[in-house]
Structure 1
Amino acid sequence: MPAPDPTCFAPTERAAVEEIRRQFAVLSNHEIPGVLNAVPVISMVLNRCRQVVFGNRKFADAIGVADIREALGKRPGEAFRCVHAASAPGGCGTGEFCVHCGAVRSILLGLAGRENIQECNINREDGGKIEALDLRVSSSPLAFDAEKFIIFSITDVSHEHRRRSLERIFFHDMLNTVGGLQGLMEFLVEEVPEDLRPDAQLIHRAMAHLTDEITYQKQLLAAETNELETNFSTLRSCDMLEVVEATFQNSEQAKGKRIKVRDACSQATFDSDPVLLRRVLGNMVKNALEATSPGGVVRLGCRPGETWVEFWVQNDAVIPKSVRMRIFNRSFSTKGLGRGLGTYSIKLLTERYLGGAVDFSSTHEDGTVFRVRLPLGG
């Protein structure tokens, strides 16, 4: 028996051609082909030697073959023409580059009986050009007729990764530019002639508002991708209400309306992230102001419990039942296209990052009340 090829990572052993054909025939006469072809992602069945013994139509299209039998016996990197697949005599999974390959790691974990999801970055040869791909791969063990296989699936997330990279660059550059302009306006407010000072102050406030809006969008995107970091500190409930009231009392949304903090609010000390909590309460107030008619009042308050503190925002408008059913859905809004992140972000930030809960009620007797309940201990 010849000595096995050397390897830097995964075993080099391969099944014989006759064995591959037998496994393909067995799998083809089962319901597995129908199931995999119904899955809208690239999926294949690999044997214990990491070789393709079946693949769905998405897989065949991705590697450019008309018949899946053309790919039988290949390993995933070989089927996808990874530039490192032939860098070692043992083929895909055995070269020094393969040590860091998320696909190989995922497959080996799957063969060990562990379902898993990994990230994989490969360079593939495509028509004489090199194409860089960012992939999300997964492996799930499959036992069939006393044989061990894995179902290996691939999702191309290259566009998602590029979009996130561009977003990070965009927010970084925008905040730097707007921050510079805001600093310049701070200087000009003091230096311009007295008759131009109101205009300079107006521009300065607009720049501050723009900076805040850009920061909010950056935080929301980070929250959706689980990349948002929290910074908890000890807070006082009435202090938070006063900050929110002062922020919105002279805002565009509050023109012709009043914001009133309930006098009977009881002070509570609790742990939370002040920046995120201001976002949550601010969105509650902003939504209430937009729903309030000129001359109306938006009321704020808080009440402590044994283990929690609750903030509430109330306005006199009533939300129709058809709208209430979808109030926290992403991008749903009664204000038109491109809106609808306000209530969605309230729930997202509160429940995923602040450890709290959100609810609301809307009746003809009490108007609409949004409530955020947070644990005292953070």
Structure 2
Amino acid sequence: MAVMEAAYCRTTGSEFHTTLREFDADPDIDGLLVLATPDDAFTPAAVDETLRRLSTPVFGGLFPKVIYDGAVRADGAVVAGLDVEPTVEPITTTDEPLEADADGDDETAFVFVDAYADAGDQFVQQLFNTYGVEYTYIGGGAGTFDGDRRHCLFTPEGLVGDAAVVAMVAAESTIGVEHGWTDIGGPFEITAADGRRLETLDGQPAYDRYAAIIDAETDRTVTTETFAEIATSHPFGISRLGAERIVRDPFAVDDDGSLQCFGDLPEGEFVHILQGDPETLVAAADRAHAAASEGAHTDSAMVTFDCLSRAQYLDADFDRELAALSQTANTIGALTIGEIANDGRGHLEYYNKTAVVGAIDGL
């Protein structure tokens, strides 16, 4: 099996378009994965014509930062050539079920979701309802961290937004998923929620309950001015029987005391308040890499998706986490707004603040 061929290019001028065309012309490349950072070079008007003219199926997304050659880059694109042809399917609605028409040999599905799509979690659920545990899934949430709504997903028909895109390939894979956050309080019942909007915890306004827990369990005081900073280091964790908690990142307070989060928080579920420590987070990233590497072929391609808010929390320590995620040469990836993965056995999840590493055979 061939190692995935990848290149990094700038988005200025024609360099990105030229790189795509060069990869497209290579007879040994049957699919194109594009991980890029958002800027004015990536609008439908700027790239759709190039994407539509490619003879090679293309998929991917725009992310706050990308990973290439052991470094995080904030202005450019990673273009990777696959030596297996992907089946690329945009998901633009949650009202109609997907048709399970993928190749029977497909084993791995790359999944990218517009992180600000109102139905982001439903896209992921729709995908799992169609294909179940038939696949190993890996991917993440695309877009800008400042909440700018834009077309952020690459497809053969051009850039799309408010959607998801899945690319299924005939390649075995192993996945490592770890977060390293620990409990400081809970469990607390989600007594009212609407998708990603957490309204009440234990019957109290979510902001009030959250602030009281932080005040009681830490030396910090939550106010509307300090909320964003404190929330970065104290996310929610949804309880899962026999598995790590599913981290949910609160990022804004509504006037009625509700909290906006990246990812759904279903009513009736129980959550804990979590805290981080650089040592436990870096150790978790190392475990994710080890889990993906275990049993993988020596020529497997390594792809990693790590949460941008996790990197922001780690700050100067993120270099250590990046080194843990990039132990294998030629690792590529992105800093995402939520991570998408399973382990080939359990339920597909849309995570926050989590490190995901995949060893993909035959790319």
Question: TM bucket by the smaller chain?
Answer: under 0.3
**Which TM-score applies when normalising by structure 1?**
0.22
**Which TM-score applies when normalising by structure 2?**
0.23
Relative contact order, higher structure (CA 8 A, sep 6+): 2
Which structure's residues are more often strand, by fraction? 2
Return the index of the structure with the highest Cα Rg. Answer: 1
